[in-house]
Amino acid sequence: MNILLLEDDLILSAELCRFLESNNFTCDKIYDGETFLRQIKNNSYDLYLLDINVPKINGLDVCQTIRSFDKSTPIIIISAYGDISDKKDAFTRLADDYLVKPFQFEELLLRINSLLRRKMPSDNSDQDIIRIDDLIINKTEQKVYRGGNEITLTLKEFQLLVYLAEAQGRTVSKQQITEHVWEHNFNTNTNTVEVYINFLRKKIDKDFKIKLIHTRSGFGYYLSPL
């Protein structure tokens, strides 16, 4: 699980990251709001920790900006401001939790774990959930998530993604895809498979640094973080 921390207190920032990493998280730390927003454009995270009083763009404005394009990744505000008006402002901007400094790191860990449990899809049956890197496919609910965000797919796009994912990194040919996804309902010489692969790439890979859908020239396609 990857966490991005916005905190301009260098000592507290370092201590928080060390604590989180000791509890099996990865933690990147940023010291101003402007750099923070640039960081999340090409990187996916499972949770954001935001101080309010930071340089360039304050944490509340960062929270509001995140929510303009990302409704689901949990956000915890960590701030020395403890008035109810400050908390109200944070929750109005759709933060998920608010922790007043100074706080016990263990309490923060409890809140993080609680939010991450709520974030996961409701059906946790191994046969119905496919996880590849930060991609989650819920076969029962026909829902797809990447980086904590739900991705809307058409039925054929979803069926194609599931078929690629269930191949577990093996290359599948165009003919195999037509047999399993389209059941020979169109001419295998058409470019329909390539078109749908491109549709998936735009939705699954375009906004992420790590690409999951790959072409093996002359053989077909495979889905893998490598």
Fold exhibited by the domain 129-223: Arc Repressor Mutant, subunit A (1.10.10)
Mean pLDDT of the chain: 89
CATH 3.40.50.2300 positions along the chain are 2-119
Q: How would CATH label the architecture of 2-119?
A: 3-Layer(aba) Sandwich (3.40)
Please give the model's pTM, rounded to 2 decimal places.
Answer: 0.56
Q: Phi and psi of 27, rounded to 5°?
A: -140, 120
Position 18 scores a pLDDT of: 95
Sequence ranges of the chain with CATH classification 1.10.10.10: 129-223
Residues in Cβ contact with 32 at an 8 Å cutoff, skipping those fewer than 6 apart: 6, 8, 54, 55, 56, 57
Question: According to the model, what pLDDT value does residue 186 have?
Answer: 59
Distances (CA, A) of 115 to 23, 26, 29, 76, 180: 16, 16, 20, 9, 37
19-66 confidence digits (pLDDT tens):
999 998 999 999 999 999 999 887 889 999 999 999 999 999 999 999
Tens digit of each residue's pLDDT (9 = 90 or more) over 88-112: 999 999 999 999 999 999 999 999 9
